[in-house]
Amino acid sequence: MSSAFIGDETAPFFGFLGAAAALVFSCMGAAYGTAKSGVGVASMGVMRPELVMKSIVPVVMAGVLGIYGLIIAVIISTGINPKAKSYYLFDGYAHLSSGLACGLAGLSAGMAIGIVGDAGVRYFSHIFFYIISLIDLNKIFHFSFHINFYVLVFKFFYEDDRVYLYD
């Protein structure tokens, strides 16, 4: 009866806690990213409603973090099967560390996505407004292509220098 269980008795504690850490911390990061950039999108959308759908990108990126945590948590928890495969303390600690690695990385990524997404979305509305004021009326035919191109170019060149066009 007991020979069916190969391994240390308390190793599953650490293994399951690793799966828990993977999901919980990733969800914390995803929630922070979603909430912080969502607030930025809502604030920006009051002035420029047409940009809201384009600004959902940070929210989607943050949601993906939750999926990463889900995958790792499921992989870990289905790997804890001491009857089929031996499960010693080594395996328990390995699962704990992998869960913590995934979870804490997801937490920090989510916080970064939230802060950058919030600032970027608000910045996006300003830059867009002043690009429109610079565009020559002859280019209305290729309106949307040029706007996107200028936005990308200006963001790329100026985001380091933080040049404000309206000084």
Partner 1 sequence: MSGSVMLGESSSWSRALVNISPYTFSAIGIAVAIGVSVLGAAWGIYITGSSLIGAAIKAPRITSKNLISVIFCEAVAIYGVIVAIILQTKLESVPASQIYAPESLRAGYAIFASGIIVGFANLVCGLCVGIIGSSCALSDAQNSSLFVKILVIEIFGSALGLFGVIVGIIMSAQASWPAKPV
Q: How far apart are CA 92 and CA 12, in angstroms?
A: 6
Q: Which of residues 74 and 165 has its CB atom nearest to partner 1 in the complex? A: 74
CA angle 92, 97, 102 (to 5 degrees): 130
90 in contact with partner 1 (CB under 8 A) = no
The interface with partner 1 within residues 3-22 (CB under 8 A) comprises 3, 5, 7-10, 12-13, 16-17, 19-20
Amino acid letter, 54: K
Q: Which of residues 45 and 104 has its CB atom nearest to partner 1 in the complex? A: 45
Q: Give min distance, CB of 25 to partner 1, in A.
A: 9
46 in contact with partner 1 (CB under 8 A) = yes
Q: How far apart are CA 137 and CA 10, in angstroms?
A: 73
The interface with partner 1 within residues 91-150 (CB under 8 A) comprises none
Binding segment for partner 1 (CB under 8 A), chosen from 36-44, 118-126, 135-143, 149-157, is 36-44
Instruction: Yes or no: say if 58 and 14 are a contact pair by the CB < 8 Å rule.
Output: no
Q: How far apart are CA 37 and CA 49, in angstroms?
A: 15
Q: How far apart are CA 155 and CA 131, in angstroms?
A: 11
Binding segment for partner 1 (CB under 8 A), chosen from 1-9, 129-137, 143-151, 156-164, is 1-9
Total of residues contacting partner 1 (CB under 8 A) = 51
Instruction: Yes or no: say if 76 and 19 are a contact pair by the CB < 8 Å rule.
Output: yes
Among 57, 63, 97, 102, binds partner 1 (CB under 8 A): 63
Q: Helix, strand, coil: what percent of the chain each, to 5?
A: 80, 0, 15
Find the largest Cα–Cα distance for the chain.
84
Give the interface with partner 1 as residue ranges (CB under 8 A).
1-3, 5, 7-10, 12-13, 16-17, 19-20, 23-24, 27-28, 30-32, 34-35, 38-39, 41-43, 45-46, 49, 52-53, 56, 59-60, 62-63, 66-67, 69-70, 73-74, 77-78, 80-82, 88-89
